[in-house]
Amino acid sequence: MPYRRLDRFRRDYPQLAGYVQELEAVLERGSSDALEPALLAQQLGVDEGLALSLLMAFQDAGILAPRYDVYCPSDEFIASFPSLAEIPSRVYCPFDDLEHERDECTIQLVFVPLHSRDATQRTASTRS
């Protein structure tokens, strides 16, 4: 089912309507809870810039929300934040039991469906 909230985008960018439809189909299948721009680009066979524009159009329509996932230098997921501004300069890592400098960490932008339970918050489960 097409999202009515994207009608304007579809009208403004008719050449992208096919990709909008494909992204809607991806969301409908609900197979991925977080969409990575690079992976979506591969999936749609477009460049990453276009994939990002599509994701942002869905964000503007209130369908997706951005999420910044922070990974430890040893590639463990630490935490996620709703915006870059909210990522502290030092992030506590439960895997190494210390704080990493934000600059040492890998920050991955993903987009999550807004109806998803943990759209903007996700934390690493601490080891027991």
Q: Of 45 and 92, which has the nearer Cβ to Zn ion?
A: 92
> 3-state class of 98 per DSSP?
strand
Contact 74, 39 (CB under 8 A): no
User: CA–CA separation, 76 vs 63, rounded Å?
Assistant: 28
The site map against Zn ion for 58-77 (x = CB under 5 A) is --------------x-----
Total residues binding Zn ion (CB under 5 A) = 4
79 binds Zn ion (CB under 5 A): no
Q: Of 33 and 96, which has the nearer Cβ to Zn ion?
A: 96
User: CA–CA separation, 98 vs 92, rounded Å?
Assistant: 6
State the residues that interact with Zn ion by CB under 5 A. Answer: 72, 93, 95-96
